[in-house]
Amino acid sequence: MSTTVPAPDTVAFCADLVRSHDFSRYAATLFAPAAERRALLALYAFNVEIVRVRDQVSQPLPGEIRLQWWTDMLSGHIHGSAEGNPVAAELLRAIRDFDLPVEPLSLLADEHQFDLYNDPMPTMAALEGYLAATCSALFELAARIMVSPSEAGEHMARHAGLAQGIVQVIANLPRDAAHRQLFLPQQLLASHDCNMEDVFAGRETPNLRAVLDQLAGEAQQHLATASSLLAEVPASARPAFLPLSQVRADLKRLSQPGRNPFTPQSSSRLRTLWTLWRASRSREFTK
């Protein structure tokens, strides 16, 4: 007598993956309708898989092979193994159901090849290009899941992603410095006479503080621009931008005077849920 092995619950797999590795985005999906939530979880699970490659390999080449698998899958060159991958299966479903463009998804995977090497980020423009192709792309694709694309949504997504990405660079400094990887632009370090080796050694200096203050100021400007554009975005699309409320809270926490930039600080899950719930009930997101 043969037994049938049930197919894995691809929706639950994606939800668990995002909940474990990207709780802020996971919590934001709780405020979206069921069909859109499934697609959002697929999108965010894909992002988790791409971002995690860096920590799953010890050499760049295996990482490039993993990233290439995703770009090949998105281009239709992989079939059987894609169907057996729960994240790929859910992502392909989201692409089909919501007519998502494949190009920005492939570009997101390509852009994260930078993570596999210890090359420093050269300029502020290079950092913004990296964040636009990663964080901003996620916001824009999430908005497309919620509502038809619009110029206002695309404009807001760019600034939202830049704000979120810069805040992540500041927050991830302890981990990145320990790996001798630097997302702080060399151009910015040089302008404040900040020594890269001091950063890798975890030395808190006035020069580094000046670099981080300038970055925080850039993030604040992008956050203000994104917030000012929210009213132009259809109300049904605004849940896609709920993570901005956590970006605002994180930026405030990371900008506190006297904070050691090499001491990891993260918001609790309960606080994250509270932050997103309050934002979802605010006039900013409902009117």
List, in order of start, the domains of the chain with CATH numbers.
8-116 (no CATH), 118-287 (1.10.600.10)
Using CA atoms, how far apart are residues 37 and 15, in angstroms rounded to an integer? 10
Range with lowest mean pLDDT among 41-55, 81-95, 203-217: 81-95
pLDDT in tens, 123-150: 999 999 999 999 999 999 999 999 988 8
pLDDT in tens, 165-183: 999 999 999 999 999 999 9
Q: How far is CA 169 from the centre of its chain?
A: 11
Range with lowest mean pLDDT among 42-46, 73-77, 136-140, 246-250: 73-77
At 150 the pLDDT is: 85
Task: Provide the token pair at 30.
Answer: 């709780």
At 204 the pLDDT is: 94
What's the N-to-C CA distance of the chain in angstroms? Answer: 60
Three-state DSSP at 160 gives helix
Check whether 6 has a pLDDT greater than 50: no
pTM for the model stands at 0.93
pLDDT in tens, 73-105: 999 877 656 778 999 999 999 999 999 999 999
Check whether 5 has a pLDDT greater than 60: no
Please state, rounded to an integer, the average pLDDT across all residues of the chain: 92
Q: How far is CA 4 from the centre of its chain?
A: 38
* Share above pLDDT 90 across residues of the chain, in percent, rounded to a whole number: 84
Using CA atoms, how far apart are residues 19 and 22, in angstroms rounded to an integer? 6
Task: Provide the token pair at 281.
Answer: 């009930």
Using CA atoms, how far apart are residues 76 and 82, in angstroms rounded to an integer? 9
Three-state DSSP at 155 gives helix
* Cβ atoms 22, 46 nearer than 8 A: no
